[in-house]
A and B are shown apart, each in its own frame.
Chain A
Amino acid sequence: MLTVNSVSKDFGNFPVLQDIQLEFSNGVYGLLAPNGAGKTTLIKMLTTLLFPTKGEILYEGQTIFSMGERYRDLIGYLPQNFGYYKNYNPNQYLQYLAALKGISKQAANEKIPQLLKLVALEDAIKKKMGKFSGGMIQRVGIAQAMLNDPKILILDEPTAGLDPKERVRFRNLLSDLARDRIVILSTHIVSDVESIANEIIMIKDKRVLYKDSIQSICQQLDGKVYEIEMDFDQVKAFRKNFLSLSERQDNGRMNIRFIAEENIRPEWKRVKPTLEDVFLYQYQDKEVEQKV
């Protein structure tokens, strides 16, 4: 069990996170918030890169900072900006990181080809990483995070640079992995976590807004999400009064998905809220918030 106990983090006089209280057991956790909300700061504290200003982070009752290398031995981490050595091929880079992770050469020789196959890089094993595309680099990053078969897998924006096919493959991979470990996946892309996360953590105004299942989080918008069809020239006026979640053209008319909390009209079609609806609702601009 990984516990974040009343953790706050300030950078100078600027508070980034306040009184964060979280518990993680085996499963996938989607850390969902817009850019700049403090996701990466939280991730960096969970990986011992940053020390909290207040509070403590515990693994099985021990502070992770006092555990030192014993804790680092348990984690796999993919940072938001994954760095690499351009003159290394993926095999050399993974061999290097395997050595730092305390994996024996023999075990690394067995594990690395398996992981490269898993991330579909087996054909590029001898190609210098300096010639890799962004997606290929990201896949090496995912492979290195799994090298030591970590008990806690922490991934910061892991799908950046992956094409849709790779995203699906990556999600399936995470679902398999999460059976016997903690997987924390930080993202601002709702679809990355919607299908695989057991729980979603949303951060707003420096605090944890939700830590719950997708179903429970979506319940708060029950009866507030609607769809309506209208002519194009009506859309502008409609947007002034309601929070539009999505808009698509349909047979020469506009189909609008929106949120309304009062003055419900019978012609509006009530629909089931999604995580994306909640995300847009919670992180809407202040100006839009007043409309709702």
Chain B
Amino acid sequence: MNDEKQFSYPDKKIIEREITAIVKKGKIERESFPRLLLSMYRQIGVRFLIRDRKEISIAVTMAVILMFAVLTSGQERYESSSSFYGIIMLVSPILYGVLSLLPFLHSKINGTFEVEMTCKYNLYQLAAFRMLIFSVFCFLLNTVWVLAMAMKFSTVHFVQAFMISTTSLLIFSLLFLYVFTVLKKMITKVAAVMSWIGLNALFVFIDSVVYQQLLVSVPWYLYGIVICLSAYLFLKKIKEFIIQNQREGAISYVNS
């Protein structure tokens, strides 16, 4: 008892300051999404974020050639402008799909998945970061393309074409993310992505009147709503992809 009495406690202010310091040290503050992206960019750098420059260059070149071919060899049909919109709907997300698939394919082919998934910034985060960059890049490239289409073909209306292109890109991007988080096997993932493109291609090549009518008859405000909603869901899903808690473990999540 005597010992307790003799013990001199620090004053209240010091106790409070020490408690605050201890709590601050122990409390783990998660980085905000933009801050995480910035620190990832600073840490990993363009050099390794876009590690497969050769494959990316080939994919971009092929997409540009495809867009240029549509632009230069397309025949204007004055009775209907809708076939161009079908082509825009088809072509807009292809490059994004190819670029987004690349890190997963590389990892699968080279067997680097396990090592890359156990690093501080893992393959999901790297792929998601790339998806974000490529979605912006593809959006800009598509916009330039539809602008050129609108300038060349009088039957193509820029705003309508822009809306269709952006909707297509965003819906596809969203589908891509869901496919990658829900489906387990790489082959089913690739098949799901390819079937979306294949279906659109089929509608264009059989010159489906119903499909083309659908594309032109949807009001702009509805396209606007779809764009806003898919952009929101895309960013939400990307964020989840980057800051996900791996409830199922990495292997069952992506690469089984």
> B-contacting residues of A (Cβ < 8 Å)?
44-45, 47-51, 65-66, 68-70, 72-73, 75, 77, 79, 81-86, 95-97, 99-102, 104-105, 141, 144, 148
Report whether B51 and A77 are in contact in the complex, using a CB–CB cutoff of 8 Å.
no
- Name the residue on A nearest B114 (C-beta): A79
Report whether B245 and A68 are in contact in the complex, using a CB–CB cutoff of 8 Å.
yes
Report whether A99 and B118 are in contact in the complex, using a CB–CB cutoff of 8 Å.
no
A75 and B117 CA atoms in complex are apart in Å by 11
- Name the residue on A nearest B121 (C-beta): A100
- Name the residue on B nearest A82 (C-beta): B115
Report whether B113 and A48 are in contact in the complex, using a CB–CB cutoff of 8 Å.
no
A49 and B112 CA atoms in complex are apart in Å by 13
Q: Is B73 an interface residue (CB 8 A)?
A: no
Closest chain B CB from A74 CB (angstroms): 9
Closest chain B CB from A183 CB (angstroms): 16
Write out the residue numbers on chain A whose beta carbons fall within 8 Å of the beta carbon of B51.
96
Write out the residue numbers on chain B whose beta carbons fall within 8 Å of the beta carbon of A148.
120
Closest chain A CB from B125 CB (angstroms): 8
A48 and B45 CA atoms in complex are apart in Å by 25
B103-160 at interface with A (beta carbon < 8 Å): 106-107, 110-122, 126
Report whether A65 and B246 are in contact in the complex, using a CB–CB cutoff of 8 Å.
yes
Write out the residue numbers on chain A whose beta carbons fall within 8 Å of the beta carbon of B80.
none
Report whether B115 and A73 are in contact in the complex, using a CB–CB cutoff of 8 Å.
no
Closest chain B CB from A84 CB (angstroms): 7
Closest chain B CB from A164 CB (angstroms): 26
> A-contacting residues of B (Cβ < 8 Å)?
28, 43-45, 47-48, 51, 106-107, 110-122, 126, 243, 245-252
Report whether B115 and A44 are in contact in the complex, using a CB–CB cutoff of 8 Å.
no
Report whether B246 and A102 are in contact in the complex, using a CB–CB cutoff of 8 Å.
no
| Most chain B CB atoms below 10 A, which of A69, A73, A148 | A69
Report whether B252 and A50 are in contact in the complex, using a CB–CB cutoff of 8 Å.
yes
- Name the residue on A nearest B253 (C-beta): A51
A72 and B119 CA atoms in complex are apart in Å by 6
| Most chain B CB atoms below 10 A, which of A66, A68, A79, A83 | A83
A98 and B228 CA atoms in complex are apart in Å by 38
Report whether B121 and A66 are in contact in the complex, using a CB–CB cutoff of 8 Å.
no
Report whether A48 and B120 are in contact in the complex, using a CB–CB cutoff of 8 Å.
no
Report whether B115 and A97 are in contact in the complex, using a CB–CB cutoff of 8 Å.
yes
Report whether B112 and A48 are in contact in the complex, using a CB–CB cutoff of 8 Å.
no
Report whether B250 and A49 are in contact in the complex, using a CB–CB cutoff of 8 Å.
yes
- Contact pick for A72, options B28, B45, B122, B252, CB 8 Å: B122
Q: Do A49 and B122 contact each other (CB < 8 Å), given the known contacts A70-B28, A86-B110, A100-B44?
A: no
Instruction: Please list 10 pairs of residues, one from A and one from B, whose beta carbons are closer than 8 Å in the complex, sorted by A's number.
Output: A73-B120, A81-B111, A82-B111, A83-B111, A84-B112, A86-B110, A100-B119, A102-B43, A102-B120, A144-B115
A47 and B113 CA atoms in complex are apart in Å by 13
Write out the residue numbers on chain A whose beta carbons fall within 8 Å of the beta carbon of B250.
48-50
Report whether A100 and B120 are in contact in the complex, using a CB–CB cutoff of 8 Å.
yes
Write out the residue numbers on chain B whose beta carbons fall within 8 Å of the beta carbon of A102.
43, 119-121
Closest chain A CB from B84 CB (angstroms): 41
Report whether B115 and A51 are in contact in the complex, using a CB–CB cutoff of 8 Å.
no
Report whether B112 and A72 are in contact in the complex, using a CB–CB cutoff of 8 Å.
no
Report whether B44 and A48 are in contact in the complex, using a CB–CB cutoff of 8 Å.
no
Report whether A100 and B126 are in contact in the complex, using a CB–CB cutoff of 8 Å.
yes
- Name the residue on A nearest B51 (C-beta): A96
